[in-house]
Structure formats: structure tokens, C-alpha cells
């Protein structure tokens, strides 16, 4: 089972991918997480990527294509995988098609998580992360017991640079311009399924399971 999750930042595709990954026992590959880890480790690629990410721009194709090729050829991906955050451009989609063809793999479905810009801003601008353990909170939907402090370790909570409203709107604009054409691309291939990502998490996940014809029982 090979799935692509498409949707703008804040659409919840990463959350749904993690849940589905646990349910069907295939890896969840998040290019965003991989890139952030490269930034954290201050690798050469991470330093280059950080400039783009903090400005709300997409990381260049050659960087994400190479990371993806390397990741999907690891042993744990033999039985399939769920990938989100890639592809994000026509060039990336073409490269991914070639990767699958080279490895004699078949793309099963592309799930598109549709959500408005204002809903995305509301979700992401309120996000706060712990500097120490990385736990994530939200000032409106999941606030910590003590303002500014992590419930788990007491670490300081901060707003990531790419969660500031002006950067979020820029990211959404970039997404609409560069990624939107992929929706039409995969729809023409008969692979696309659209989800209303503004719905509650449980409702979206239940529909996702039904769409993919997996049993909802544990």
C-alpha cells in the first residue's frame, strides 16, 4: 500500500498519516520532519533548507527528491508507505513517478486534505512547541496547564518561526501556486480522493478508513 497525502500546512495530513501508519503498519514518511531533523542537526542540507523554511518558501526540488529516494528504498518500506509533504511540485511528482517505476512499485491512492486559508492560520498560529522535549500545544485547542510551560517536562514553550501568521499565509500562497496543479494531475490518473480537513480529527480518520476500505475496529 503506497499512499500520498496532499494538503497545505495545517491541514492535518501529518496527524492522519501517523494514525493510519499505526493502523496498517507501514511507515509514515514526513518530508517536513526529515528536513526539520536535518536543520536540528545543523547538517549542510539542514542549513540550506532552514533559509527556505523560515521564509515560507518550498525547499528546492533537488533536496527533497534526493531525501525521498533515499528514504523509500530503506528496508521498512518494502511493504508500502504513507508519504506527506512530497511531492509538492510537478518536477517532484515526475521524479516520484520515476522512482516508483524504477522500483516496480504502484501508487494506490492520493488523499487530498482540503481546508481554507483562514482555518489553517487559526490552527498554526496558535501552535506552541517545547524547546526541551518537542511536545506541541495550542493556545486555543490544547493549552498547557501553566501558560508558557510544558506539562511534560516544564520546558519553555515557543512559537516556531514558520508558525507566525505572515509566514503561514506565505506558505499557503506558495502551496496554492505550486502544489495545486498536482491535485488535477492525480485526479486525471483516477488516484485522487478528497477529504474535508476542517472536520474533527476522528471524523476525518473514520472517513479515511472507509475510503481505503480498512476495518475501523481495532
Helix or strand holding residue 23 (H, E): helix 13-24
Q: Please list, in sequence order, all residues whose beta carbon lies within 8 angstroms of the beta carbon of residue 47, skipping any fewer than 6 positions away.
A: 39
pLDDT band at 214 (very low <50, low <70, confident <90, very high): low
* Identified catalytic residue from 50, 71, 109, 127: 127
Q: Highest mean pLDDT range out of 63-72, 179-188, 203-212?
A: 203-212
Active site residue 171: yes
Active site residue 13: yes
Active site residue 57: no
> Cis omega before residue 32 (within 30°)?
no
Q: Dump pLDDT digits (tens) for 87-137.
A: 988 889 999 999 999 999 999 999 999 999 999 999 999 999 999 998 999
- Point out which residues pair with 3 in neighbouring strands: 82, 109
Evaluate if pTM is beyond 0.85: no
* Identified catalytic residue from 48, 149, 160, 169: 160
Active site residue 36: no
Q: Dump pLDDT digits (tens) for 137-157.
A: 999 889 999 999 999 999 999
Which residue has better confidence, 162 or 77? Answer: 77
Active site residue 127: yes
- Across the chain, where does the E strand assignment appear? 2-6, 28-30, 81-84, 109-114, 127-130, 136-138, 157-158, 192-196
Angle at 54 between CA 34 and CA 180, to 5 degrees: 75
Q: Dump pLDDT digits (tens) for 1-42.
A: 899 999 988 899 988 999 999 999 999 998 888 888 888 888
* Identified catalytic residue from 88, 109, 123, 128: 88
* Identified catalytic residue from 13, 19, 50, 71: 13
The CATH number corresponding to 2-117+167-211 among 3.50.30.40, 2.60.120.10, 3.40.50.1860, 3.40.50.300 equals 3.40.50.300
Amino acid at each position: 500500500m503506497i499512499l500520498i497525502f496532499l494538503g497545505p500546512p495545517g491541514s492535518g495530513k501529518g496527524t492522519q498519516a501517523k494514525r493510519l501508519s499505526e493502523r496498517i503498519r507501514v511507515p509514515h514518511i514526513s518530508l517536513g520532519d526529515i528536513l526539520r531533523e536535518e536543520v536540528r542537526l545543523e547538517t549542510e542540507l539542514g542549513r540550506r533548507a532552514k533559509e527556505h523554511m523560515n521564509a515560507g518558501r518550498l525547499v528546492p526540488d533537488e533536496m527533497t527528491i534526493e531525501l525521498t529516494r533515499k528514504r523509500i528504498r530503506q528496508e521498512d518500506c518494502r511493504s508500502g508507505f504513507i508519504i506527506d509533504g512530497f511531492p509538492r511540485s510537478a518536477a517532484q511528482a515526475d521524479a516520484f513517478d520515476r522512482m516508483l517505476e524504477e522500483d516496480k512499485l504502484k501508487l494506490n491512492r492520493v488523499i487530498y486534505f482540503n481546508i481554507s486559508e483562514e482555518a489553517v492560520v487559526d490552527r498554526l498560529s496558535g501552535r506552541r512547541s517545547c524547546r526541551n522535549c518537542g511536545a506541541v500545544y495550542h493556545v486555543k485547542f490544547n493549552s498547557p496547564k501553566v501558560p508558557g510551560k510544558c506539562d511534560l517536562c516544564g520546558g519553555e514553550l515557543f512559537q516556531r518561526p514558520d508558525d507566525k501568521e505572515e509566514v503561514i499565509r506565505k506558505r499557503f500562497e506558495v502551496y496554492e501556486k505550486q502544489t495545486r496543479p498536482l491535485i488535477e494531475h492525480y485526479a486525471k490518473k483516477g488516484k485522487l480522493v478528497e477529504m474535508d480537513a476542517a472536520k474533527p480529527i476522528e471524523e476525518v480518520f473514520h472517513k479515511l478508513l472507509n475510503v481505503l476500505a480498512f476495518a475501523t475496529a481495532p
